[in-house]
Amino acid sequence: MISILIIGNGNVASHLYSALLKAANVRVLKISSRNITEIPKADISIIAVSDDAIATVSSKITNSLVVHTSGSFPMESLQNKTNKGVFYLLQTFSKEKAIDFSKIPICLEAANAKDYLLLEMLAKKLSNHVYSVHSEQRKALHLAAVFVNNFTNHLFTIGKNICESNQLPFEILQPLIEETVDKIKTLSPEKAQTGPAVRNDQKTIENHLDMLHLKQQKIYTTLTKSIQNGN
Amino acid sequence: MISILIIGNGNVASHLYSALLKAANVRVLKISSRNITEIPKADISIIAVSDDAIATVSSKITNSLVVHTSGSFPMESLQNKTNKGVFYLLQTFSKEKAIDFSKIPICLEAANAKDYLLLEMLAKKLSNHVYSVHSEQRKALHLAAVFVNNFTNHLFTIGKNICESNQLPFEILQPLIEETVDKIKTLSPEKAQTGPAVRNDQKTIENHLDMLHLKQQKIYTTLTKSIQNGN
């Protein structure tokens, strides 16, 4: 039996708590970061709070192994005097949307091999995709996630706005969006690239720019140039 | 029995031909656009060639109803003297990847109601998602498709490059990419937006910019500003 303490109230804390409740040979407790005067003992204490609160929260924990779940903060941002590590879930969590934990990449880091093995043992109870990722790599992953998740989602918003300005339902784009993602399972995105930019179809590009307002034009031009010049 | 002639050799022509071969009460024939001296008769002639060839190819067809499959060209770009229409498949086609036609949005336009009904009858043999879309709307759809397909795919390429520069496999981003798309089935993309831009987390934004080369910085800044200012 391994004992886990989760500190936090956000989406990561809640989803992780639910997942660990179902894991075998795990005892899990979750507390709020607001009221941490008496901190229960645990084999692994997982701090799942906003990045800015990691230092303060960790400084109050005396348990043997303390990890955070942040993609962008290094392991050293933990201020506990005991052992440190990172337990980063590379996924986007929404409040009311259940998620299949077995597919979530879990990126681990620890200051020593023994702690790493403990984290790995825990991670493998949750997911089939466990990676050893050091702080620099994790920062890069977090950055890549901004491109493939945050920015991609924003392009979907623009697509939706274009549809709605033309009395078309956004659902009409859904099959295309799904195929865009499905394609890169078998084809690298470089090879899957299509469209006026990669064809250098200047006439279509000009027609498209004419249909966009200034801010959208800037996105269109920037991405078109990047497609044309490689990256 | 309805007779269909497809003119073209590309992905759209090939996929459409395969799909129509399986449709009930349809006789379909496909010819190359290179050799169109003797054009077989058909109830609907579907020109699935590159945009620039539509005018020339259509000018040689005397069949009763001639349609093209282009997203960006208006119906009037057809140069046949007979009836005109559009049969636009809103999907990205790859040579060797089979696709479920029943989910493809088919966007129809015709100069008269009788022709529209004929196109609709054909489209419904292939797909459950048939839309009446006039030329201006279709141009907008094609533009929206560039954002949600071409540009999104390019962001995936950047994500892949960031992974590979840091000795990480691109597969590690796949679950996040899938969830990004899965989320907008139940949540509008505006509401699904997360990340440093929408949180206005200036410190993370600066850290990210430090990790990017100039061209990627431009994309990062342009999309971050657009997320922050609405669109």
- Interchain contact A134–B (C-beta under 8 A): no
User: CB within 8 A of B213, min separation 6: which ones?
Assistant: none
- Interface contact flag, A155 B160, Cβ < 8 Å: no
CB atoms within 10 A of CB B230: 9
Q: Which residue of A has its CA nearest to B205?
A: A143
Residue A66 and residue A47: Cα distance in Å, rounded?
Answer: 7
- What is the ipTM score, two decimals? 0.94
Q: Dump pLDDT digits (tens) for B137-178.
A: 999 999 999 999 999 999 999 999 999 999 999 999 999 999
- In DSSP terms, B87 is beta-bridged to B108
Residue A53 forms contact with B (CB below 8 Å): no
Contact A153 B72 (CB under 8 A): no
Q: Which residues of B touch A166 (CB under 8 A)?
A: 136-137, 140-141
Which residues are registered as beta bridge partners of B47? B7, B68
Q: What is the mean pLDDT of chain B?
A: 95
Q: What are phi and psi of B190, to 5 degrees?
A: -60, -45
Decide: residue B2, CB within 10 A, 0-12 exposed, 13-18 middle, 19+ buried. middle
Is the CB of B141 less than 8 angstroms away from the CB of A178?
no
Residue A89: strand pairing partners: A106
Q: Which residues of B touch A55 (CB under 8 A)?
A: none
DSSP B149: I
For chain A, say whether B35 makes contact (Cβ under 8 Å).
Answer: no
- pLDDT band at residue A56, thresholds of 50, 70 and 90? very high
How far is Cα A87 from Cα A43, in angstroms, rounded to an integer? 14
Contact A116, A86 (CB under 8 A): no
Does residue A157 sit at the B interface (CB-CB below 8 Å)?
A: yes
pLDDT, tens digit (0-9, with 9 covering 90-100), for B54-107? 999 999 999 999 999 999 999 999 999 999 999 999 999 888 788 999 999 999
Q: Give yes or no for residue B127 having a pLDDT over 90.
A: yes
Q: Do A152 and B152 touch (CB under 8 A)?
A: yes
Residues 103-122 of B with CB under 8 A from A: 103-105, 107
A191 touches chain B (CB under 8 A): no
Alpha carbons B35 and B30: distance in angstroms, whole number: 12
Q: 3-state SS of B17-68?
A: HHHHHCCCCEEEEEECCCCCCCCCCCCEEEECCCHHHHHHHHHCCCCCEEEE
Report the C-alpha gap between A51 and A158 in whole angstroms. 29
Mean pLDDT within A31-50:
92
In the numeric block, which tokens belong to residue B174? Answer: 């796949």
